[in-house]
Amino acid sequence: MMAMASRNALLKNLTLILSRKYTSRTQVISGTSVELPSCHGKSLEQSDYKRWDNGGGMFHNSACIDHTALIENGAIVHSNCTIAKDVQIGSGTVIGSSTSIGKSTTIGYNVVLSNCSVGQFCVIHHGVCIGQDGFGFFIDDKGQVAKKPQMLNVRIGDHVEIGANTCIDRGSWRDTVIGHFTKLDNLVQIGHNVQIGKCCIICGQSGIAGSATLGDYVTMGGRVAIKDHVLIASKVRLAANSCVTKNITVAGDYAGFPAMPAEEWRRQTVNMRLHFKKGRSL
């Protein structure tokens, strides 16, 4: 009698498992029941995605991933990606289709990479977004705001470091490029089609509008703004809160709004203070 009851209970459990096979997938990890992500009614493991042994993240069957790469639990690598040797990908990160990442690059938590290639020995901090559409719109014949196509990519060089929550937009008429050894602080906005040379330093809350071009060894203080389609020569240094509204063709230090040679800006600032002091004395 007991054997019959055990058999009926086993059949009931088996029927329940089969009924859930293509709707939900639960995996027990360290005694905790974990619901796996779903894709069109099937779990990722039941579709074209598998779990990566080194870290527990998910990857698409078509991705080419070196066996030394670490993909942490909660991260996902989509189709046709290339992940090189010793890459580390943090939890919550999404690597979009056809993205490539060079060897020994470290990617933090909750990063989104798409339409881009990342070089070797890079560091990408938490919350960075690379490869999304740029801000490009126009007024069409009907008087409505229409979106310009954003179809190109972002190319990140070697030894680049990108601070937390920085955004780099994909190109529309040319690729957006970050040169070798360039360092970006937190909360930097790089617009579409921007091209930045090697060994540049860009401090926090700076913004570079679309299609601007920066040479090599350019340094930008905090909250610097650069107008779209502006050309900045190599070895230019911009003081904090400067705003570049036209081309800078000669290396040197610049400051102010609009940006001008730093010595000229200092003279203007002193003259303005003297003028106001003289006015108050009268």
Distance CA 65, CA 231 (A): 39
Residue with tokens 């360092």: 183
CA angle 145, 148, 151 (to 5 degrees): 155
Q: Any idea what DSSP says for residue 56?
A: B
Distance CA 48, CA 236 (A): 49
From residue 217, how far is each of 169, 183, 198, 211, 251 by CA, in Å?
Answer: 22, 10, 6, 19, 10
- For β-strands 70-71 and 88-89, DSSP reports them as parallel
Distance of CA 244 to the CA centre of its chain: 24
CA angle 50, 54, 59 (to 5 degrees): 25
Nearest-Å Rg of the Cα atoms of the chain is 26
Token pair, residue 115, equals 């339409």
From residue 43, how far is each of 37, 52, 143 by CA, in Å?
Answer: 6, 15, 45
Residue with tokens 């040169």: 179
Other CB atoms within 10 Å distance of the CB of residue 125 = 20
Closest CA to 152 of 135, 118, 175: 175
Which one of 125, 159, 180, 192 is the catalytic residue? 192
Examine the residue annotation and report whether 67 is marked as an active-site residue of this protein. Answer: no
- For β-strands 137-139 and 145-147, DSSP reports them as antiparallel
Catalytic residues: 192
